[in-house]
Structure 1
Amino acid sequence: MNIRFLLLLLCLTPKLNAQTLYSKAFGNPQHPALLFLHGGPGYNAVSFELSTAPILAEQGYYVIVYDRRGEGRSIDPNAEFSLAEAAADIQGVLEKYAVSKVHLLGHSFGGILALKFARTHPEKVHSVVLISAPLDLQESFQHIIVQCKTIYEAKEDLVNLKYVGLLQEMDPHSMLFASYCFLHALRNGFYTTPNPTPDAQQQYTALMEQPDFKRWGNAMTEQAPLGFHRNDAYTQMKLYDLIRQVLQKKVPVFGFYGEDDRLYPKTQRQTLEALLPQGHFKSWERCGHAVFIDQQAQFIAALRQLPQG
């Protein structure tokens, strides 16, 4: 091959390096902007991207999704996995898409990041929407243990009862403790609703058939939770004071939750509802952790409450 042609070809080829964040936008840039912050740590935005982002774009929003640095499709072996790094990347994504002010949709762990960013940069945030976000992780872990123990006792599952007993003897502030709690929660179906709507069933069936979901739908980056635990001790966080601080910054906060999400005790949702302005909290039946799929129509309708700025 001619060397000059090869050099030209290399110049024209997109450079995909370890520092590149995966991101994608849907809709008209002139419409109100929504930025989805996915859960984890260690997950990615693929389920929201495939199921909900295009529909929201059709409804008149400019929807941006991205995978955090070092997670999912944003491969970066040098990622430090910290809230400071993640906040800097949010600013980078907003600059990339020329968005000066945005609604932050924080799903699960993404809700922590959304609140942290809104407190530091209130001028860039129209509102924060907490979607199945944790409010007191240590309390949630104890809630998971109690539920699992009840299930295992009813089944006379002596093996898992032994594991739960060992779990209760561990340091509750350790990452290993948190990981085992989430593992037992997953094993017992705490993330999902036992009675999905026909529409949700169709959504999940359609997702399972998409190549990107097959590749990334269950992909987890193990280094991410270890990094955020080391740098920010995220498993010890309580969000109530942070929510109050964001509200004091005049940034509206909303909460969208599923009644069948058994990761968190109901008292946490009740506390959040009392903390937010009237009408800013929604909790739907036949709905688990993935609110934007389990009750997609109601989720989209609730977003209509967001201030238009």
Structure 2
Amino acid sequence: MKKIILLLFIVFAANASAQELFVKTYGSETAKPVLFLHGGPGYNSVNFESTTAQKLADEGYFVILYDRRGEGRSTDANAKFTFEETFSDINSILTKYKIGKINLMGHSFGGVIATLYAEKFAEKVNAVILVGAPISLQESFTNIIARCRKIYTDKNDSSSLGYMDMLEKMDKSSLEYSSYCFMYAMQNGFYKPKNISPEAQKIYDDLRKSPDFKLATQMTQQGPTGFWKNEKYTALNLSGSIEKLSKKIKVIALYGKDDGLYASAQIEDLSKLIGTDKVFYLENCSHNVFIDQQNEFLRIIKSQI
């Protein structure tokens, strides 16, 4: 009897652990599978879920999205915030839906996850789709500071230029340095198109009316802190990994020309790694490529995957 009770407890505990992940699907399970990996760390899948997931499914894909363990709606007080834990969760999702090979769509930090997962489990990946994803965050931080400097110089804003001086003297490997860089990027509108299209504006307006919009604007601190502590993700340079991956599996990339996180030189470097025909650099588009140029985003995915 004790053995039976213990066995039941183990099964219950395993099921409880699985239920901690928020997972949602769209489309037929027999269609081409796409797993969306959200940005952050500390973010969630609401933006993509509320605006694009169903439309991508309508194009003939089985779309899966989830919030990483300990982030968004996947609450877990015992989350480790490691790549290994994340890979294990991805493998569990693939097993649950009986997927042999997946198309990984990584937005922002999700692109880091997609790249590293595919590097370790290439046999389980059909393609990697990088969407506004960093290749080298340190290069992006340098670019953010340079862009901010130009803005403040043009405004003759000596006070803000002084903050840039202070920022450049910080320990570039620290979480504080990356957090300040992202903060200034946000303050200077680097995540928004310079001239948003009427179509994109309507999508954003509809998103704001969504009951999940509040969550879409929130980030938890445990994710960035945990991944930085355990993986030092802000110091990663994925150039070598992506170049090697592109020789084994299909890698495509979609970026917006108004995305202030990346200089055009960074996109050119990526083109050299995976081929110019695999990089799509879109006009009037910033970080949320799947919203800012949704029709073009869907067209590209359908033509490539």
Tell me which amino acid in the other structure corresponds to 2:259. Answer: D
Distance 1:187 1:110, change over 3 A: same
The code of the aligned residue for 1:143 comes to: N
Partner of residue 282 from structure 2, selected from 278, 281, 284: 284
Asked if structure 1 preserves the Cα contact closer than 8 Å seen for 2:103 and 2:129, the reply is yes
Q: What amino acid is aligned across from residue 169 of structure 1 in structure 2? A: K
Please state whether the residue corresponding to 1:68 is helix, strand or coil.
coil
Over the residues paired in the alignment, what is the CA RMSD in angstroms?
1.5
Matches within 5 A, 1:21-100: 21-100=21-100
Q: Contact 1:104/1:128 (CA < 8 Å) preserved in 2?
A: yes
Counterparts in 2 of 1:212-251, with a 5 A limit? 212-213=212-213, 215-248=214-247, 250-251=248-249
Work out the CA distance in 2 between the residues paired with 1:90 and 1:225: 19
Q: Which whole-Å deviations, capped at 9, do the CAs of 1:184-243 have from their partners, x for residues lacking one?
A: 000000111111111100100000000012x31111011111111111111111111010
Please say if residues 33 and 103 of structure 1, whose CA atoms lie closer than 8 Å, have aligned partners that are also in contact. Answer: yes
Alignment of 1:143-292 (within 5 A): 143-213=143-213, 215-248=214-247, 250-292=248-290
Superposition TM-score, scaled by structure 1 size: 0.91
Identity rate of aligned residues, in percent?
45
SS of alignment partner, residue 279 of structure 1: helix
Higher helix share: 2
Q: For 1:148, give the aligned amino acid.
A: C
Give the Cα–Cα distance (whole angstroms) in 2 for the partners of residues 186 and 221 of structure 1: 17
Contact 1:127 1:306 in 2 (8 A): no
- In the alignment of these two chains, the number of paired residues is 291
Contact kept, 8 Å, 1:47 with 1:207, in 2: the verdict is yes
Instruction: State the 1:34 CA deviation.
Output: 0.5
CA contact (8 A) 2:27 2:60 kept: yes
Structure 2 spans left out of the alignment, 5+ residues: 1-14
- In structure 2, relative to structure 1, the CA distance for the partners of 1:97 and 1:179 (3 Å cut) is same
Q: What is the rounded CA distance, in whole Å, between the counterparts of 2:17 and 2:114 in structure 1?
A: 27
- In the TM superposition, what is the alpha-carbon distance from 1:140 to its structure 2 partner? 1.1
* Contact 1:18–1:75 (Cα < 8 Å) also in 2: no
Give yes or no for contact 2:104–2:128 (8 Å, CA) kept in 1: yes
Residue 71 of structure 1 aligns to a residue whose secondary structure is coil
| Aligned equivalents of 1:146, 1:137: Cα separation in 2 | 14
Instruction: Decide which moves more: 162-171 or 29-38.
Output: 162-171
Query: Gapped runs of 5+ residues in structure 1?
Result: 1-14
State the shift of 1:19 in Å. 6.0
